[in-house]
Amino acid sequence: MNTANQFCDLATQLLTESRRSTATNTLLKYNDVLVRSIIREQRDLDARIEALLMNTAPAEGTDDDDPDATLDAAKQKESERVMPTVLLYQTAILRNKRCLLAYHQHRLEFLKDLYWSVGGALPLLLSLPPAQAQGQPGQEDAQLGAAPQDIRSKLSPHEVDFLRSYAASLLTLRTEAFSSGAGAGNGPTEDIDLFAPIAHPPKDLQVHVRVVRDCGIVYTELGAIDFKRGHRFLVRRSDIEHLIVQGYLEES
């Protein structure tokens, strides 16, 4: 551990990153170097505590007639003397732990918000080309809300695994709890769309939409529709609601 820094300085830097992420509503790149440095500091503090306790531990099985009793009494006094130092190290360990948990909890909550912002389309969230993030965000980028263009490059492998597990859990919930065919052997139906926005309930069954990103052929109740960029359509809302959420279409 770098002795030039005070204990928990690195953890404070980690919290500062979380605050900056919240203030700018952006997901910063996972700081693997800083996290590993804090873990090394944790191990160093734990080793210091263990060394102090080992040096001050009295010998077992001694009595008052033993010549080493005086030495044990001295160790007892030494133990009382170093206890404030042990308490300081233990407090630093607990603070580092709290900062690490807060940092990762903040990132997981941000990832869940991004997942819902793209309508639960995990492949879309993870496979956006990084090259698009190098230029200025255009109209297509605005449709994705807060979702960054190179989201996968900002995640740790464990965060990618979390997103996949989160998506699998929601799929299981949707299949087993919100499908009329669940338990009846008829397979899942889409009676309740967990990813449909509920902030503004739709007023009409059909909606005028404009294609802002090519999304290919989509099969609706009216038949197959080839959604090409710039075209406008009048379609049933339930057929293309997920495309609006994912940013391929916009209401006009």
Where are the domains positioned within the chain? 9-117, 196-252
Q: Render pLDDT for 202-219 as a digit per residue (tens, 0 to 9).
A: 667 788 888 988 888 888
Percent of the chain predicted with pLDDT > 90: 31
User: What pLDDT was estimated at residue 176?
Assistant: 77
Tokens of 114: 């991004």
User: What pLDDT was estimated at residue 172?
Assistant: 85
Fold of 196-252: Ribosomal Protein L9; domain 1 (3.40.5)
Residue that is written with structure tokens 């996972």 in the block: 30
Decide if 9-117 and 196-252 have a common fold.
Answer: no
Measured CA distances, 150 to 31, 115, 129 (Å):
16, 14, 6
Q: How confident is the model at residue 199 (pLDDT cuts 50, 70, 90)?
A: low
Q: Which stretches of the chain are DSSP H helices?
A: 9-24, 32-56, 69-117, 122-126, 139-142, 157-177, 237-246
Q: Which residues contact 236 (CB under 8 A, 6 or more apart)?
A: 205, 206, 220, 221, 222
Tokens of 239: 């057929």
Q: Render pLDDT for 139-165 as a digit per residue (tens, 0 to 9).
A: 444 444 444 446 888 999 999 999 999
Tokens of 98: 């709290």
In whole angstroms, what is the distance from residue 139 CA to residue 127 CA? 19
The pLDDT of residue 10 is above 80: yes
In whole angstroms, what is the distance from residue 45 CA to residue 53 CA? 12
Q: Render pLDDT for 35-57 as a digit per residue (tens, 0 to 9).
A: 999 999 999 999 999 988 887 76
The mean pLDDT value for 184-210 works out to: 64
Tokens of 112: 């869940």
Q: Which CATH number fits domain 9-117: 3.40.50.1820, 1.20.58.100, 3.40.109.10, 1.20.58.1030?
A: 1.20.58.1030
For the range 182-190, what are the long-range contacts, defined as Cβ-Cβ under 8 Å and sequence gap of 24 or more?
none
